[in-house]
Each structure stands twice: as C-alpha cells, then as structure tokens.
Structure 1
C-alpha cells in the first residue's frame, strides 16, 4: 500500500496539528488516524523522532505532565505553519486523494474476495456433484487440475494486487501515468490471455 504522506509532509502536518493546541504523542497518533478515516495510524517510532526534530529546531516544546509528555507549538512553529499555508493545502488535498485511493483499493479487495468465495463455493458444489459419478482416474485428474487452478488464482491475485498498488501509489504521489504505460500493460495481458487460451485448446 502506498504511503499516505510524502517525504517531509508528516513533519509539517504534525506541526499543523500542534497549532490547533497542545497534545501528547498518543493524541497526535490518534488525530492522524482520525483525519485519514482510520486508513493510516503511525507508530510511535514514526511520530516521536519527528517531534524530537521539531523540538531541536525550536518549533515545539515539550513538558512532562505526570506520565505523559505534552508537546506545544512555539511562536517560530506558528510562523512556519503560516508561511507554509499553501504547502499544507497541498498536503490536505494529497491526503484526501490518498485516503480515497486506499478506500477504493480496500473495497476492490473485498469485492474480489467475495467473487472468489462465490466461485470457490460454486466450484466445490460442482466438484461434489461430479465426484459422485467419476472414476478414480478422473478424480486424480480433477484433484491435480484444481491444485493448478488454485496456483493460477493465487498468481493472478498477487499480480493484480501488486500492479494495482504500484499504479495507485504512483498517481497518489502526484506521478504522471502515461497512456503508453497502460497500453503496454493491456497488450501484455491480452498476449498472455491468448497464450493461455491456445494452451488450453491443445
């Protein structure tokens, strides 16, 4: 899955969250999860080093409140947020696009899983009916064929997921997706499909 924040954007977004009011680390992680609809929840290992860097730069301060460390923005931090208002608008737009792409990908995966489940159930029912009237030799062939079909399904699913994630991630990061790239993908898939069809007709 493609990253939600591009390089350097998370640092500025954390500063923007602190501009809304002081927060401790967990609050910031929860806020990031809330702002992305739960599609992105950063780890402590992601957030705290960036907060430490902001503190070193004099853009935030931290105070210990019991067992919690509370971070607050400084005047210099507010000045950077104001100076980079356009960058923040771009981050917000990219964030919305990324969340939509991730949500679409999740919905697509769920639909694919449901279709695959229905196909598996139908195939299992058909296999059960066929097994009642097949010979042992035919059973062996069917078992071997089902194993190869499962391998093919897994290979197709993996290929689709990886290529789809690469394409969506590239576009989400602002990359250009040229028509020639898609044309080459379509041509390759058509060629592979024809090869499979020819092999099955032998």
Structure 2
C-alpha cells in the first residue's frame, strides 16, 4: 500500500505518538505498523531523520537508556500538536480508511476461495453422475438415484456452510477493524488455511 502520509504528516504523527509516551525508534516503527494493521512499516531511514529534525526544532528531546535512545516530546511539541489538531484528525481518518481497505481485501479473498470450493464440489457431483449413470426408470428408486439424491443434499448443505462461514468471518473482520487493527498477515494466512481445507475436501472426495 502506498503510504498515506502527505508531506509533513509523518512528522506530525510521530509527535502524536511521543505525546502518548516516550519511545525509542523501534517502538515508534512498531507503533506505526500497529496503527496501520501492518500495511505500512516505515524504515529506520524514514523515522530517524525526522526525529533528528524534530529535535533540532526543539519539539522533542532524546536521552540514552542503556543502548537505546529514547525520544520525548517537549512543551513546544505539545503546543504544535494542539495548534495542528485538525491536521492530526485528518491523518487519523486516513489510518482508519487504510485498515478498512485491508479488511475489504480479506473479504474478497474469502469470497474467491468460497466460489472455488463450491465449483470443485459441483464438479465432483457431475463426475459422480458420469461414473454412475442413471438406469432406465422402473418406477422404483435404485441405488444410483439414492446416490444422486445424497450427493445433491450434501452439495446443498456444503453451500449453506460456506455461506455461513463467509458471513460470519465478514462480520468478525468488520468488528475487528472498527476497534483495532487487522494484521496484514491475515490475508496470506487465510489463503493458506483455505487452500488446506480445499485440498482436504478434495482428498476426501477421492480426487
């Protein structure tokens, strides 16, 4: 994802993070990653020059804690935050939007995976019909008809389960995105687990 920070916005956002508590450089990088749900992870080369500039302007101070350099906002830094409160609110809105876009990507992945699994189940049903063609009707149910009925019923129930799963996960993601971050690793992990489920289902069908 392209960083949402316009010119000067990252500088302001770093001040807001330091207003919460003193932090060292890695903690600031981690805090930014958390706020963006892992979709934006700034490099040290992005963060430290801005911290140095903030220090030159008297907006932050730094001290050494063992091997770590801890940065702390100054009174002048808090005054700037207060003066630019509207700008900071706009940045927070962008952060929220980026997390929602990630949740949309996860939902899209779920939908695609569910469609693929339904197609495989339908294909397996058709294959079973070819391997067990229906004999001429004699007015009485036979084993082939029973197999087809059972297959149709299983496919219908599987479709209901898939739809229920999709709707429930979509609701869970929306609730998560509303109150906290959705980690970027959610998408590849979702794909991996759904691929495993699909492979297991196909194996059980003897495909």
TM-score if structure 2 supplies the norm length? 0.53
Residues 22 and 71, structure 1, Cα contact 8 Å, conserved in 2: yes
Mapped to 2, the partners of 1:90 and 1:6 lie a distance apart of: 11
1:110-153 deviations in whole A, cap 9, x for unaligned? 433553466578779989x99xxxxxxxxxxxxxxxxxxxxxxx
Deviation (angstroms), 1:41? 2.7
Inter-CA distance 32–115: structure 2 relative to 1 (3 Å threshold): same
Structure 1: which 5+ residue stretches go unaligned? 131-202
Q: Which has the larger radius of gyration?
A: 2
- Unmatched segments (≥5 aa) in structure 2: 131-207
Partner SS state of residue 70, structure 1: strand
List, as ranges, runs of 4+ consecutive aligned residues in structure 1 with deviation greater than 6 Å: 120-127
Rounded Cα–Cα distance in structure 2 between residues aligned with 1:2 and 1:113: 26
Distance in 2 of aligned mates of 1:105 and 1:18 = 31
CA deviation vs aligned residue, 1:85-109 (integer Å, no higher than 9, x gap): 1111111112111211122123313
Q: Tell me the secondary structure at the aligned position of residue 15 of structure 1.
A: helix
CA RMSD of aligned residues (A): 3.0
| Shift in CA distance, 110/10, structure 1 to aligned 2, threshold 3 Å | farther
Matches within 5 A, 1:30-45: 30-45=30-45
Measured at CA, do residues 95 and 123 of structure 1 come closer, stay the same or move farther in structure 2, by a change above 3 Å?
Answer: same
The residue number in structure 1 matching 2:97 is 97
